[in-house]
Structure 1
Amino acid sequence: MPTLSRRALLGAGAAALVVPHITAEAFAAAPMRNEAAPAWYRFRHGGYEMTVVSDGPLPIRPASSGFIGVSQAEMEGLLTANFLPTDHLPLEQNVLIVNTGRQLVLFDTGMGESMGAASQMFGPTTGRLLANMRAAGIEPGQIDLVALTHAHCDHCWALVDANGNRNFPNAQVALSEADLRFWTDDANKRGPEFMTAFIDGAKKNLNAYRDRMVMARDGQDIAPGIRAIAIPGHTIGHTAYAISEGGRTIVNTGDLSHHHVLLLQRPNWKFAFDSDPDQAARTRVRMLDMLATDRHQVVSYHFPWPGRGNVVKAGDGYAWIPAPIANVL
């Protein structure tokens, strides 16, 4: 088979520019749509049907504001090497819904609109969960259990609407007792400026379900086949969930790692939104090592859409191997 040199390829490209004069009448271009397709992705996990639904992108600007004590040059070097922007971190919000055949379990809720202008603190691209759920054929009233990894704004503020009404009227809510206590206590409105909004939002959303709370306890099931794993540091009661079916386990890691490059290649870096950055880094290394060793598949909340893949060891850190993105049924 003949080979194609770079010189020949460039020459062919130049030749392609020489085209006959077109005399046909030109028509107006179609208008720009400026809208994205409904974002949902479905796959099987044993006998379970898994659907990932997007709440929309959540950018952190500038990128450096997401970290504490990190070299700007090193961070930008890692981003550039991985073909990523250096002025912001384009995080996703990958909300997992598991249909076990007996229950429909939603993991986290996205940002929502419950806190008005505060709901747009990360920009206007969030709050798309309910619309994308419906596009995926799932109604909020069908959700039996909302399993929260933690009580930050982008994980629980869509439990209720702007008027305080439950968005998931038939659901129980699972959350660690530590997070429930901390994020509904006004005495914790201290430290970073965002803490006041975070606590006010958690109170509004969590208190609406106080009569139907389920405590997520480390090593115990919140539903058949769904086990809570304590991963403290990002919040005091941050929780992952291992979903086991048919001899396989997939782990919803919540905010164990916010970035698929920076916090995998540099897992000891301190993330600015962690309640205890040092503890979060220790937890991150421990869990990433376990996930890589046990080869459990992962759904990560903030990794590139749809957040499904595997973690592998890579030098002194780790690397992200995304799963094929085609819907697998």
Structure 2
Amino acid sequence: MSVISRRALLGAAAATAALPMLPAGFAEAAAPFRNDLPPAWHRFKWGEFEATVISDGSLPLGKPQDSFVGPGANQIPQMLSNEFLDPNAATLEQNILVLNTGRQLLLFDTGMGESMGADSKMFGPTTGRMLANLRAAGIQPEQIDMVVATHAHCDHVWGLVNAAGQRVFPNAQVAINEADVRFWTDDGNKKGPAFMGPFIEGAKKNLNAYRDRLVMVKDGQEVAPGVVALFSPGHTVGHTCYAITSGGRTMVNTGDLAHHQVLLLRHPMMEFSFDTDPKQSAQTRSRMLDRLATDKHAVLSYHFPWPGLGHVRREGEGFAWVSLPTNVTTL
């Protein structure tokens, strides 16, 4: 044992001996475990806009190799372990953006919701927290002017209505690409993977409730001042990202362009099992990531670690995710 170690131990022993003894019968009752989570929302300024990220809860996918396949998939365990992530489980976040432009209040995607009963918990009990967190952030659903949907998958539009089929956002329009509406409300597409049936039923129930309030979005269209649609198909036929610009700053809400901050950035040509067209999705992802890295725009990713804010940079043959620091004391 070194001299330093002996001294440290002797000092610790002396300090312990000097502590006062607790009186007889002194209670040492431990505080009970809470077993709950605090409200999850994060607010920040973006130029002249005010942005709030709302969590719908984590979305566990299970074994990564069941969802991420193709080029680079054999490296998944090592890639995750290198980042101190569980190599046997992939867990995504659900980061919903609320944008206050000063004239309108826009909600980007809605989370899993409760509209489809047991199917709303197909990924486990940790989803469906959007409404509670929205209210905790001081925002009421009736204040939302427009829901901007990146696409019509369950974790993005199933929160539009409640279990009874009633509109959760009674005063809102819903902006979405027309190709996605047509595809995900067509019973003829109930083929292929088992998830297609419930995905289509859920999209029908949620989107049809707003059928008189749908705004069909096209590539390059401004859906609100400072918010421009960027067509990015592959994950779904009408998947759309949104560039948000104010005060000379641009942030791109990338939706499901990439589902994992390590796997699909290091290997952008890797495929994801929930993609409608995996090959097209990989090509779109690679092209858009290159654009984001070149332009150095900020990114809000729906499924990246909370609250999903950061930048994409080139690294090796792929890309890397750099999280933006969050400051909770100032806007």
Give TM class, smaller chain. over 0.9
Structure 1: gaps of 5 or more residues: 1-5
Query: Deviations 1:63-103 (Å, cap 9, x if unpaired)?
Result: 21112236665100000000001121110000000000000
Using structure 1 for the length normalisation, give the TM-score: 0.94
Matched, 1:141 2:142: yes
Distance 1:72 1:46, change over 3 A: closer
Amino acid at match of 2:88: D
Aligned-partner Cα distance in 1 for 2:238–2:216: 11
Contact 2:72/2:270 (8 A) holds in 1: no
Identity of aligned residues (%): 60
Question: What number of residue pairs does the alignment pair up?
Answer: 324
Deviation of 1:8 after TM superposition, in Å, equals 5.3
Greater gyration radius: 2
Query: Deviations 1:127-185 (Å, cap 9, x if unpaired)?
Result: 00000000000000000000000000000000000000000000000000000000000
Aligned-partner Cα distance in 2 for 1:144–1:16: 62
Aligned-partner Cα distance in 1 for 2:176–2:65: 30
Q: Residue 42 of structure 1: SS of its match in structure 2?
A: strand
Distance 1:140 1:65, change over 3 A: same
Matched, 1:231 2:232: yes
Q: Residue 298 of structure 1: SS of its match in structure 2?
A: strand
Q: Residue 120 of structure 2: SS of its match in structure 1?
A: helix
Aligned-partner Cα distance in 1 for 2:92–2:34: 23
Distance 1:32 1:14, change over 3 A: farther
Deviation of 1:23 after TM superposition, in Å, equals 3.7
Amino acid at match of 2:241: A
Matching residue of 2:216: 215
Amino acid at match of 2:303: H
Q: Residue 210 of structure 1: SS of its match in structure 2?
A: coil
Amino acid at match of 2:325: P
Using structure 2 for the length normalisation, give the TM-score: 0.94
Aligned-partner Cα distance in 2 for 1:44–1:156: 26
Distance 1:198 1:29, change over 3 A: same
Matching residue of 1:96: 97
Amino acid at match of 2:111: G
Amino acid at match of 2:302: Y
Amino acid at match of 1:112: G
Alignment RMSD, CA only?
Answer: 1.9
Matching residue of 1:290: 291
4+ residue stretches of structure 1 with deviation over 6 A?
A: none
Matched, 1:78 2:76: no
Aligned-partner Cα distance in 1 for 2:81–2:40: 27
Structure 2: gaps of 5 or more residues: none
Matching residue of 1:107: 108
Amino acid at match of 1:267: P
Amino acid at match of 1:319: A
Query: Deviations 1:31-51 (Å, cap 9, x if unpaired)?
Result: 000011100000111000000
Contact 2:72/2:267 (8 A) holds in 1: no
Contact 2:63/2:90 (8 A) holds in 1: yes
Matching residue of 1:205: 206
Matching residue of 1:182: 183
